[in-house]
Amino acid sequence: MKTLKFGLLTLLAVLVLSCNKDKKEDKDLAMNNEMEVVGEIAPEVSHYFNKAQFQSAFDEEIQRNIRLSSDELMQDALDVVNATKQAITFIADSSYAKAKSSIELGIGKAEALTALNPELSLAPVDFKIGTNDLVADISSIKKIKALAKRSLEEGKIQETIELLDGLKSEIEIDTYSLPIATYPVALKKALVLAKDGDYEAASTLLNATLNTIVVEQKRIPLPLIRTEFILQKLDEMIQEEDFDMELANQLLDNATYELTFAETLGYGKKDKEFKELHDAIKQIGKVIVDTSNTDEKGLLKNLRAKLDKFKERIS
């Protein structure tokens, strides 16, 4: 699934239409103030990598997150769910013998999952994956935030929601999982009801059991993935004895920009670790200009490890 991407022009058009004429001057003043702050915090930079080059990092991140379960495990869990659905259908068709067989099949599969994976409480049965890639710069994001703040102060809740709705740049992964510890118990109760001839109650219980499917949501900020990609390429480059120092500094600037982009969008909720990451990048920049010092390799390795943990923690 791909979510519609927000172009900068489209966003700004929406903003203009949403403004009241009598408040335009005040809002323009707020936006100008925000622009001054943006210039101090994160000036626009020349980006070395393009969108297509970052795509491989996005794809790898998705694969890494859905690789947590084997195909066989997912298929077994899905078989349990399908057996439950078939039982409900058979009951609706008055095919009671087939319904009981389907429930028994589901119980067998569920118990096998439990026995083979005693430490696993949730067995994934499906994934829903989407990408929201915000096409904007930090200055524009600051403008939108200023307008949203003013709209909220004026009590325009729906306008505020509309303004903020597009301010996200992330991979969305929804994992649908079977609670294999409790699911077999529910199926056994449904089987007892079916054997007692109470098929309506059995069907109701089976439907309720399907509703116990757990949905886990994970939101991975694209700017942090881009930062990781940039630092990885920088790490590869500085392994060379005579690397391009000007390019190295550009990549550090790009990494700083992406971190600020993530922070501006509110990922991490102004986490203090953002400052630590920024400071680490500055330190690497200082070391790189000293040709007699090779500490940048160790510093960069530590930074990449810290960034990976940070990304996992806030996703």
Cβ neighbours around 76 below 10 Å, total: 20
Query: SS3 string of 50-94?
Result: CHHHHHHHHHHHHHHHHCCCCHHHHHHHHHHHHHHHHHHHHHHCC
Cβ neighbours around 253 below 10 Å, total: 19
Distance CA 40, CA 44 (A): 10
Give CA separation, 288 vs 111, 187, 277, 300, in Å: 58, 63, 17, 11
Query: SS3 string of 239-254?
Result: CCCCCCHHHHHHHHHH
| Under 8 Å between Cβ of 156 and 149 | no
Q: pLDDT tens digits, residue range 156-166?
A: 999 999 999 99
Distance CA 9, CA 13 (A): 6
Q: Residue 1: what pLDDT?
A: 41
Tokens of 284: 């690497």
Distance CA 183, CA 211 (A): 11
Q: Which residues of the chain have pLDDT under 70?
A: 1-44, 67-70, 291-294
**Under DSSP, is residue 300 helix (H, G, I), strand (E, B) or coil?**
helix
Distance CA 98, CA 102 (A): 6
Sort strands 170-179 and 214-221 into parallel, antiparallel or unpaired.
antiparallel
Q: Residue 291: what pLDDT?
A: 66
Q: Residue 62: what pLDDT?
A: 92
Which is nearest to 194 in space by CA: 54, 88, 310?
Answer: 88
Strand-pairing partners, residue 131, are: 171
Q: Residue 168: what pLDDT?
A: 95
What the chain holds in terms of domains, given with CATH numbers, is 8-41+135-167 (no CATH), 69-129+171-219 (1.20.120.1940), 221-314 (1.20.120)
Q: pLDDT tens digits, residue range 222-257?
A: 999 999 999 999 999 988 888 899 999 999 999 999
